Amino acid sequence: MARKTASGPATDPELLILSSLAEGPKHGYAIMQDVATFAGVELGPGTLYTAITRLVDENWIEPMEASGRQRPYRITSTGLGHLRIQLEKMRRLSSFGLKRIRAV
């Protein structure tokens, strides 16, 4: 349930959540749906909230005012910086890997 597609950095729940929240604040269920749409990864509720808890602890995302049972989260500037660094690393890795594949 947690990671249906092949595992790898592109299915890391924390990166997926940060990427989802980079678009704007969302609550848990909306994050799940968004991640399923843009990454094709279906996060289980347990995986989602384990990652959210850690991201809040790290101060990479923060909860906003709750409306009913739903509470939206937004990405912080620290979280945005962390996401940028991780995505840059992934981009370097993918361009390097693709170059090598083409050379084979």
For other proteins, the binding residues (CB under 8 A) are: 1-2, 27-29, 32, 44-50, 52-53, 66, 69-71
CB nearer other proteins, residue 46 or residue 97 = 46
Judge whether 73 and 61 are in contact, CB under 8 Å: yes
- Smallest separation, CB 19 to other proteins (Å): 19
CA distance 77 to 68: 27
Judge whether 21 and 61 are in contact, CB under 8 Å: yes
- Smallest separation, CB 68 to other proteins (Å): 8
CB nearer other proteins, residue 15 or residue 52 = 52
CB nearer other proteins, residue 27 or residue 86 = 27
